[in-house]
Chain A
Amino acid sequence: DVKVTQSSRYLVKRTGEKVFLECVQDMDHENMFWYRQDPGLGLRLIYFSYDVKMKEKGDIPEGYSVSREKKERFSLILESASTNQTSMYLCASSRTSGGHETQYFGPGTRLLVL
């Protein structure tokens, strides 16, 4: 079974803090994704990566950055957290297979920025 793990289930941070969210997958997947999930807005893609050290902006990259130094690990960084970044953050991974690939999701990190 594919396993995608996220470093924290719940996180409380203060405005202006630097926040790191870590995601690890154990299935040697090429692609990794970061989404935020907000009520009524569904899942919105922040960044994705299709290879080590490669990254592409998703639909809402502002205020975020990412790092992929190893194939299994994809980190989301909030350089200076703001209250509007309070959300549920979901990591996902998938194999490369011409768009046919299923995404496997982690359990999510619920971030509260005060």
Chain B
Amino acid sequence: AQSVSQHNHHVILSEAASLELGCNYSYGGTVNLFWYVQYPGQHLQLLLKYFSGDPLVKGIKGFEAEFIKSKFSFNLRKPSVQWSDTAEYFCAVNASPSGTYKYIFGTGTRLKVLA
């Protein structure tokens, strides 16, 4: 069965620090990969996504993620975080072609950025 692991459950950083959140998935075929973000009191929204092509994907607000197929990973990065990046971050996988429209989400990483 497909699964998604986010090993960092809570991360605390100071402003201007660099960020890397890990995401590993278990599925041997073609995958579509997503990072969603949930700011306090707001609904989940897409940060970035990877379908094919360049494995380095750029998203909104200066975030990027790199798909490394050999490591089954899709880590999220940002060179310099801001206080406004405080949020919960979810990695998600949709295997394609899977015959379903199911997404598998990781358990989330809560990021707190100290001003």
Interface residues of A (CB under 8 A from B): 4, 31, 33, 35, 40-45, 48, 50, 56, 58, 90, 92, 94, 96, 98-103, 105-108
| B32 lies within 8 A of chain A by Cβ | yes
| B70 lies within 8 A of chain A by Cβ | no
B97, A98: Cβ atoms closer than 8 Å? yes
| B67 lies within 8 A of chain A by Cβ | no
Q: A42 touches which one: B51, B97, B107 (CB < 8 A)? A: B107
Chain B nearest CB: distance from A51 CB in Å? 10
A99, B101: Cβ atoms closer than 8 Å? yes
Given the contacts A99-B95, A99-B96, A48 and B101 also touching, CB distance less than 8 Å? yes
| B25 lies within 8 A of chain A by Cβ | no
Q: A107 touches which one: B43, B51, B94, B95 (CB < 8 A)? A: B43
Query: In the complex the two chains form, what is the Cα distance from A101 to B98 in whole Å?
Result: 13
Given the contacts A99-B96, A100-B32, A100-B51, A45 and B46 also touching, CB distance less than 8 Å? no
Chain A nearest CB: distance from B99 CB in Å? 10
Q: B44 touches which one: A45, A90, A96, A100 (CB < 8 A)? A: A90
Chain B 79-115 per-residue mask, 1 if CB under 8 angstroms from chain A, else 0: 0000000000010101111101111011110000000
Residue of A nearest to B45 (CB): A105
B106, A99: Cβ atoms closer than 8 Å? no
Kindly list 14 other residue pairs between chains A and B, CB separation below 8 angstroms, not including A48-B102, A99-B97: A40-B9, A42-B6, A42-B106, A43-B90, A45-B102, A50-B101, A92-B44, A96-B101, A99-B32, A99-B98, A100-B51, A102-B34, A102-B46, A103-B46
